[in-house]
Structure formats: C-alpha cells, structure tokens
Chains A and B, each alone.
Chain A
Amino acid sequence: MQVEEIISSGLLELYAAGLTSKEETAQVEQWLKQYPAIGIELSEISAGLETYAQLQAIEPAPGVKEKIFAAINTV
C-alpha cells in the first residue's frame, strides 16, 4: 500500500481514537515501522484530538495528585 492510500484509508484516525480492531492495530503498527511519513501523519491527527480533550478538561480535586505520589512511593 502506498503512503497516500494509507492516509486516505481512515484507519489512522480510528487508530488515534483507539477504535481499531486487533488486526487493524497490528496493520497500523506495521505501517508505522515501514513509513516515517505515517508516523508524522498520525502525530498530527493525535495532536488535534489531544487539543480537543484538553478543551474539555475537568480539574480533579487537589488531593488526587498527593494520593498518586503517595502510592508510587510506597513499595
């Protein structure tokens, strides 16, 4: 498959949103190894979704961070 075909397949968008099946995920990861351009494309797709998530952020209570640090420092 050519890079342009891959980009227009829609699979990268689904992969970025965590919606691909096991087989599709394996396929995308194979392309990522094969073509650097696919990695760049994926990164741009993901950045858009990341901004979208940041816009809908909800600040957790202040104590949550302390609890996490207490947990990772307890062996």
Chain B
Amino acid sequence: MQQLIKYTEEELVLLLKKQDQQAFSYLYDNYAAALNGVIFRMVEDKSLSEDILQEAFVKIWNNFASYDTTKGRLFTWMLNLTKNLTIDTLRSKGYKKQSKISKDENSVSNVPDTGLGAEKFDTIGLRKQLENLKPEQRILIEMAYFSGYTQDEISKDTGIPLGTVKTRMRSAIIELRKILQYA
C-alpha cells in the first residue's frame, strides 16, 4: 500500500499517545516486518511468529502510554516488548531455551528476502556492506539481537568471558554503525 503520509518519530509518538489509529497503521507498515523477522528467528515457526506479532502490536497499542521517549528510541522499546513477549510465549509453551541462532557465519545472508527493506534502503548495497563485519562480530550481534540471551548466557554459550562479551559487543555495534552510516 502506498504511504501518503510520512511521520517523524516525534510526530508518530505524539499521535500514538493520543491513540491515533492512522498513526498506528503507519507504525505497523513500517515496523511489523522488522519485528516479525526478529520473532521468527527466535521461534522458527511462521504461524507462531505471526501470532506473537499480533499480540505484540496489541500490547504496543494498549501500553503506549508507558513508552518513555527519554529512555530510548521507539523501535528499541517495541523490540524489547516483543522480545520479552516471545520469550514468555516460548517458556509457557514449554520450549527449552536454546539458541536458535545459527553459528554459521553465512546465516545472515540466508534470511529470506522479503522486499520490505527495498523501499526504504538500498537493501542489496547494505547487505553487501554487512559482509565487512567480522564473522565473530556478526554472531554476537545476532545473539544479542535475535535471541532472548542475556550477557551471561552469551558468555556461557560461546565460552567467551563476560568482560570480553561486553567489549566485543561494543566494537561490533560500533562497526555496524560505521558500515550502515557510510553505505
């Protein structure tokens, strides 16, 4: 669907605080696929992933008043809410917490191309840029971002000391930022 209106993050937040459904529709169109991608990587089940996505968006709508702009970007808040919901769902379904993230360094490029990004980014160009990320940096970002892992769990699972997880995570995210900035 063609988006006629484009909101800045501030406008969007203001409208959502007023329970504006058009703004919510815009929010969905712009972020649902990204959040769905994160959920899917955690649950590896398309239909369960969409059920959780649906629940997450209803929660985002109902709890929007609790979003505090001073604590971070809108997407970060939505992502954390979604990740927590996914972890809770997996737990309630009796799933054992385990890494769904492939340690294979090529896993990132195996994600199905959905076309959503194409409208907003030079997707192919950016994906190529991501190849500049060192495999160990990419794995760390994947584990942090696309799993319900805590720092301790990442440390245990990879055998990397906790302090090193922190410093490597930092350099990985800095590298990511550089890559995406100049892409």
Contact = CB atoms under 8 A, between A and B. Distances in A.
Given A54-B116, A58-B40, A68-B57, A13 B169 contact: yes
B53 A44 contact: no
A54 B126 CA distance: 11
A33 B40 CA distance: 34
B151 A57 contact: no
A55 B80 contact: no
B76 A16 contact: yes
Given A17-B144, A57-B116, A46 B58 contact: no
Given A53-B38, A71-B54, A72-B61, A47 B73 contact: yes
Q: In terms of DSSP, what is the predominant structure of the interface of chain B?
A: helix
B33 A42 contact: no
B177 A48 contact: yes
Contacts of A1: none
Contact of B71 (A13, A32, A68): A32
Interface residues of B, number: 61
A52 B180 contact: yes
A34 B139 CA distance: 33
Interface residues of A, number: 40
A42 to B, nearest CB: 6
Contact of A33 (B70, B166, B173): B70
B112 A58 contact: yes
Interface string A33-75: 1000001001111111111111111111100110111011000
Contacts of B36: 57-60
A16 B174 CA distance: 12
A59 B33 contact: yes
A18 B152 CA distance: 13
A18 B126 contact: no
Contacts of B58: 68, 71-72
A37 B96 CA distance: 41
Contact of A58 (B108, B111, B141): B111
A67 B32 CA distance: 13
B66 interface: no
Contacts of B149: 19
A49 to B, nearest CB: 6
Interface in A1-33: 10, 13-19, 21, 29, 32-33
Please list the 4 inter-chain residue pairs (A to B) with the smallest Cβ-Cβ separation, ordered nearest first: A10-B170, A57-B33, A48-B177, A13-B173
